[in-house]
């Protein structure tokens, strides 16, 4: 098994809002423990609004108001040492960004400046990270990088709006891989793309991970994408990871009732039966249900589920499930 490259311990990240004089606290990430390994694709899945994107921001150390770190730690393994990212000075965090860890946010237009050509975006990026290169050498690096990833060289001469959504997304992912980071974080990189274009984006992510041998943390609610790309998957519900296992275990032996719903709602080739979606609606993260947050939607709810939050059980080696049913096995 590969070593741990990123570790979160009891991570709590809440949005603290003041709405017309009333304080509102949204518990987007509430007590997450993670150990992400070198050279793996770790997928994080769950319904919209469960806290997936906020978890990524917290793992990246991007705690911009109104998001606040309430508790817990995030450690990166840098040169054989555990570095607590929340104890670093802002300048030290900046140094780690892009070279050690890079971030592909939702929506490529938030990364690519619409009024400059892609090559200028690559140049700006390289000039701020690579010292002692001429402009010509910098363009050469960009060209070689684009070609190595199988993208057409013409993308460098285009403005972002001249590219299709899928190509923009690939250009953004390529940019995030430019400095060969040890960890790449990607937030819903295939959202709003049709399945054919999604395939190109997934293939690009896979080929980057294989060629760099790095770690990718991939957030997507699309379980089909997780099945294609991830090595391990964490299922998130109401700010917590409720199940974690290898992709084979998650899809072949889902144990948390919520995960079973997510998987049973997937269309299957040749199966014309009705798909079963998760009943009810996701809970409010301002005032989540007591005990197991899934209890109002769960068909197996026990009295203990309403009162106590389940910790992880490990009914199968390396397969963790936060559900009281596992304690009854």
For helices 118-129 and 165-176, the axis angle rounded to 10 degrees is 10
Residue 305 makes contact with ligand SF4 by CB under 6 A = yes
**Residue 98 or 237: which CB sits closer to ligand SF4?**
237
Residue 308 makes contact with ligand SF4 by CB under 6 A = no
Stretch that binds ligand SF4, among 26-34, 53-61, 171-179, 288-296 (CB under 6 A): 288-296
Separation of alpha carbons 227 and 233, rounded Å: 9
Q: Is 69 exposed, middle or buried (0-12, 13-18, 19+ CB in 10 A)?
A: middle
234 in Cβ contact with 45 (< 8 Å): yes
**Residue 123 or 320: which CB sits closer to ligand SF4?**
320
Residue 309 makes contact with ligand SF4 by CB under 6 A = no
Q: What is the DSSP letter of 156?
A: G
Residue 300 makes contact with ligand SF4 by CB under 6 A = yes
**Residue 106 or 301: which CB sits closer to ligand SF4?**
301
> Which is it for strands 67-78 and 22-37: parallel, antiparallel or unpaired?
unpaired
**Residue 216 or 325: which CB sits closer to ligand SF4?**
325
**Residue 76 or 258: which CB sits closer to ligand SF4?**
258
Select the residue interacting with ligand SF4 from 14, 292, 319, 320 (CB under 6 A). Answer: 292
Separation of alpha carbons 169 and 171, rounded Å: 5
Minimum CB–partner distance for residue 225 and ligand SF4 (Å): 24
Instruction: Quote the tokens at residue 36.
Output: 């992400």
Minimum CB–partner distance for residue 267 and ligand SF4 (Å): 24
C-alpha distances out from residue 324 to 22, 29, 184, 316, Å:
36, 21, 34, 15
**Residue 189 or 310: which CB sits closer to ligand SF4?**
310
Separation of alpha carbons 170 and 149, rounded Å: 9
Stretch that binds ligand SF4, among 105-113, 128-136, 217-225, 320-328 (CB under 6 A): 320-328
C-alpha distances out from residue 142 to 153, 167, 178, Å:
9, 16, 8
Stretch that binds ligand SF4, among 14-22, 93-101, 211-219, 296-304 (CB under 6 A): 296-304
The contacts found for 276-280 with CB under 8 angstroms, 24 or more apart, are 278/47
Residue 313 makes contact with ligand SF4 by CB under 6 A = no
Residue 323 makes contact with ligand SF4 by CB under 6 A = yes
Cis, bond preceding 66 (omega within 30 deg of 0): yes
Residue 319 makes contact with ligand SF4 by CB under 6 A = no
Minimum CB–partner distance for residue 293 and ligand SF4 (Å): 8
Instruction: Quote the tokens at residue 31.
Output: 């007590």
**Residue 56 or 262: which CB sits closer to ligand SF4?**
262
Residue 325 makes contact with ligand SF4 by CB under 6 A = yes
Binding site for ligand SF4 (CB under 6 A): 256-257, 292, 294-295, 298, 300-302, 305, 310, 323-325
């Amino acid at each position: 098994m590969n070593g741990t490259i990123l570790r979160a311990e009891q991570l709590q990240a809440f949005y603290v809002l003041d709405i017309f004089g009333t304080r509102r606290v949204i518990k987007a990430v509430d007590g997450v423990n993670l150990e992400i390994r070198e050279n793996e694709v770790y997928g994080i899945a769950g319904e919209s609004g469960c806290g997936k994107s906020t978890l990524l921001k917290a793992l990246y150390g991007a705690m911009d108001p109104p998001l606040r770190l309430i508790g817990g730690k995030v450690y990166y393994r840098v040169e054989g040492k555990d570095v607590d990212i929340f104890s670093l000075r802002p300048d030290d965090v900046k140094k780690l960004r892009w070279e050690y860890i890079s971030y592909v946010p939702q929506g490529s237009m938030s990364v690519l400046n619409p009024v400059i050509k892609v090559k200028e975006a690559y140049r700006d990026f390289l000039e701020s990270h690579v010292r002692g290169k001429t402009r010509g050498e910098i363009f050469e690096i960009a060209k070689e990088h684009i070609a190595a990833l199988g993208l057409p060289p013409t993308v460098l001469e285009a403005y972002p709006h001249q590219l299709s959504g899928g190509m923009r997304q690939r250009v953004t992912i390529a940019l995030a891989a430019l400095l060969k980071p040890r960890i790449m974080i990607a937030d819903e990189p295939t959202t709003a793309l049709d399945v054919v274009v999604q395939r190109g984006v997934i293939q690009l992510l896979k080929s980057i991970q294989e060629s760099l041998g790095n770690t990718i943390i991939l957030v997507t609610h699309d379980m089909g994408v997780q099945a294609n790309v991830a090595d391990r998957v964490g299922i998130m519900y109401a700010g917590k990871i409720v199940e974690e296992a290898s992709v084979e275990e998650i899809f072949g032996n889902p144990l948390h009732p919520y995960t079973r719903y997510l998987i049973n709602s997937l269309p299957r080739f040749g199966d014309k039966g009705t798909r079963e979606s998760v009943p009810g609606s996701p809970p409010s993260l301002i005032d989540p249900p007591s005990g197991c947050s899934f209890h109002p939607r769960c068909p197996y709810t026990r009295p203990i589920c309403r009162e106590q939050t389940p910790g992880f059980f490990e009914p199968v080696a390396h397969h963790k499930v936060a559900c009281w049913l596992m304690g009854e096995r």
